[in-house]
């Protein structure tokens, strides 16, 4: 499907973010948040199929065409949540909805739980809460994260002689995707460099988290949600192998839609995008 999309820039006090803009000016305001190491192109198939919405699909900081954070700054989930709030402030949106995939869904949950007065509705795709860690392993994990920051100086991004090689690599990356999906993500995520092409993403995005929420923290955020929540679970997605999370879903205040497809079912093909759109169109049209 050919998407009518506008490229925009958002100048926040601390960073410049890029975004794709979809939908009518008078549509319901929605900020769309992509997954880790992806970019705004993840919504290329889905956004045009969502009816009556004014969608701003961000490139998160360090991703796509957005700026990288300053030296010494971090890419923690709550840093993204603040970016999202500041984008809404710039757009003049006091109340808005969030459409999130994977990491974008996690950021959506954290923000909606922390600032319920700002969020109208959540539409989540194969993501809900971050990977958790318990207190007894926190010192060990912090040490690993600090060492990884020191070691990063010696690491170099991969360079691909042809764009096709980068597409092949993305097909096998985190949350394996179809070739068409990989081409869309790579088209926005690559830049020329000596010897070929490399990823625009900030290398710091690959660092391990210095501190993880506990299971109790994660559940508290979900239980604090006050807005309607629709969660699409991909049958071959990344959440399908999380038995603890699947058990939670039986008791949490969410509308769950189980659909065929992988972690990027909204981008892999038109059929998957339409099935996700059908779920969310019903949700956004509800009173």
Per-residue 3-state assignment (H helix, E strand, C coil) for 62-114:
CCCCCCCCCCCCCCCHHHHHHHHHHHHHHHCCCCEEEEEECHHHHHHHHHHHH
C-beta of residue 127 within 8 angstroms of C-beta of residue 240: no
Nearest one of 76, 77, 83, 79 to 59, comparing CA atoms: 83
Q: What pLDDT digit, counting tens, does each position of 268-279 carry? A: 999 999 999 999
- Active-site residue list: 102
Pairing assessment for the beta strands 190-193 and 196-199 based on DSSP bridges: antiparallel
C-beta of residue 121 within 8 angstroms of C-beta of residue 32: no
Q: What pLDDT digit, counting tens, does each position of 84-131 carry? A: 999 999 999 999 999 999 999 999 999 999 999 999 999 999 999 998
What pLDDT band is residue 239 in, cutting at 50, 70 and 90?
A: confident
DSSP string, 4-57: --EEEEEE-SS-EEEEEEES-TTSEEEEEE--TT--GGGGTTTGGGSTTEEEEE
C-beta of residue 116 within 8 angstroms of C-beta of residue 224: yes
Q: Which fold has domain 6-133+214-285?
A: Rossmann fold (3.40.50)
Phi/psi for 217 (5° steps) reads -60, -50
Residue found under tokens 């198939």: 45
Q: What pLDDT digit, counting tens, does each position of 37-66 carry? A: 999 999 999 999 999 999 999 999 999 999
Whether 250 has a pLDDT exceeding 90, the answer reads no
Residue 1 exposed, middle or buried by CB count within 10 Å (0-12, 13-18, 19+): exposed
Q: What pLDDT digit, counting tens, does each position of 181-224 carry? A: 999 999 999 999 999 999 999 999 999 999 999 999 999 999 99
pLDDT at 174: 72
> For the whole model, what pTM was predicted?
0.96
Nearest one of 272, 102, 259, 108 to 181, comparing CA atoms: 272
């Amino acid at each position: 499907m050919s998407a009518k999309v506008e490229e925009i820039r958002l100048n926040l006090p601390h960073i410049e973010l890029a975004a794709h803009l979809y939908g009518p000016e008078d549509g319901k305001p929605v900020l769309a948040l992509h997954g880790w190491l992806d970019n705004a192109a993840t919504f290329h198939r889905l956004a045009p199929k969502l009816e009556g919405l004014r969608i701003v699909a961000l490139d998160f900081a360090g991703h796509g065409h957005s700026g990288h954070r300053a030296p010494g700054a971090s890419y923690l989930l709550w840093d993204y949540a603040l970016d999202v709030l500041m984008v809404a402030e710039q757009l003049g949106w006091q109340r808005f909805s969030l459409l999130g995939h994977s990491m974008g869904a996690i950021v959506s949950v954290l923000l909606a739980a922390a600032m319920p007065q700002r969020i109208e509705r959540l539409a989540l795709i194969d993501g809900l809460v971050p990977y958790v860690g318990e207190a007894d392993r926190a010192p060990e994990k912090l040490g690993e994260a600090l060492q990884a920051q020191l070691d990063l100086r010696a690491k170099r991004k991969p360079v691909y002689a042809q764009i096709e090689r980068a597409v092949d690599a993305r097909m096998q990356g985190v949350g394996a995707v179809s070739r068409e999906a990989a081409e869309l993500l790579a088209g926005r995520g690559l830049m020329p460099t000596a010897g070929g092409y490399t990823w625009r993403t900030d290398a710091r995005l690959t660092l391990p988290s210095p501190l993880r929420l506990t299971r109790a923290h994660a559940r508290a955020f979900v239980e604090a949600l006050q807005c309607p929540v629709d969660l699409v679970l991909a049958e071959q997605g990344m959440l399908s192998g999380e038995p603890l999370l699947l058990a939670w879903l039986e008791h949490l205040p969410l509308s769950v839609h189980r659909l065929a497809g992988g972690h990027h079912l909204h981008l892999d093909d038109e059929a998957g995008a339409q099935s996700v759109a059908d779920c969310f169109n019903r949700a956004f049209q509800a009173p």
